[in-house]
Amino acid sequence: MEKQERSFEEGVEKVRKLGFLRKFFGRMRRKSGVVAVVPLHGVIGAGGVLPLGRGPSLSMQGLEDRLLEAFTLKNVKSVVLWVNSPGGSPVQSAQIASRIRDLAKEHKVKVLTFCEDVAASGGYWLACAGDKIYADKASIVGSIGVVSSGFGFEEMIAKLGVERRVITSGTNKSRLDPFEALKEDDVKHIKGLQKGIHDQFIAYVKDRRGDSLKGSAKKMFSGDFWTGEEALKMGLVDEIGHMHETCRRLYGKKVKFRVMKDKKGFVSNLLSGSFMAPENWVEAFSVKLREMSFWQRYGL
**Distance of alpha carbon 59 from alpha carbon 68, whole angstroms:** 14
**23 found inside a domain:** no
* 182 three-state secondary structure: coil
Q: What is the pLDDT of residue 28?
A: 46
* 158 three-state secondary structure: helix
**154 found inside a domain:** no
The answer on pLDDT for 12 being more than 70 is no
242: DSSP letter: -
Look at 134-138, 180-184, 209-213 and tell me which has the smallest mean pLDDT. 180-184
Which tens digit of pLDDT belongs to each residue from 146-192? 777 667 777 777 777 777 777 777 777 767 677 677 778 777 887 88
**Residue type for position 122:** G
**190 found inside a domain:** no
b/e for 145-184, b at 16 or more Cβ within 10 A? bbeeeeeeeeeeeeeeeeeeeeeeeeeeeeeebebbeeee
- Region of residue 18 (left: phi > 0; alpha: psi -120 to 50; beta: else): alpha
Nearest Cα to Cα of residue 122 among 149, 145, 98, 150: 145
Q: Strand runs (DSSP E) across 24-126, as ranges?
A: 34-41, 49-50, 55-56, 76-85, 110-120
The answer on pLDDT for 104 being more than 60 is yes
Q: How far is CA 127 from CA 17, 86, 120, 121, 212, in A?
A: 47, 12, 9, 10, 14
Q: What is the pLDDT of residue 270?
A: 46
Q: Please, which residues bridge with residue 78 across strands?
A: 35, 110
Q: What is the pLDDT of residue 49?
A: 44
Which tens digit of pLDDT belongs to each residue from 215-242? 899 999 999 999 999 999 999 999 999 9
| Run of H or E including 140 | strand 140-142
CA 114 to chain centre: 10
**Residue type for position 149:** S
Q: What percent of the chain has pLDDT over 90?
A: 52
Confidence of residue 8 (pLDDT cuts 50, 70, 90): low
Q: Please, which residues bridge with residue 40 across strands?
A: 83
Nearest Cα to Cα of residue 205 among 121, 134, 148: 121
**95 found inside a domain:** yes
The chain-wide mean pLDDT, for the chain, equals 80
Q: What is the pLDDT of residue 269?
A: 47
Q: What is the pLDDT of residue 136?
A: 96
Between residues 261 and 300, which one has the greater pLDDT? 261
How many domains does the structure of the chain reveal?
1
**pTM of the shown model:** 0.76
List the CATH number of the domain containing 73. 3.90.226.10
What's the domain range around 238? 33-145+216-296
**16 found inside a domain:** no
* Three-state SS sequence of 194-239: HHHHHHHHHHHHHHHHHHHCCCCHHHHCCCCEEEHHHHHHHCCCCE
The answer on pLDDT for 64 being more than 70 is yes
**77 found inside a domain:** yes
**273 found inside a domain:** yes
**4 found inside a domain:** no
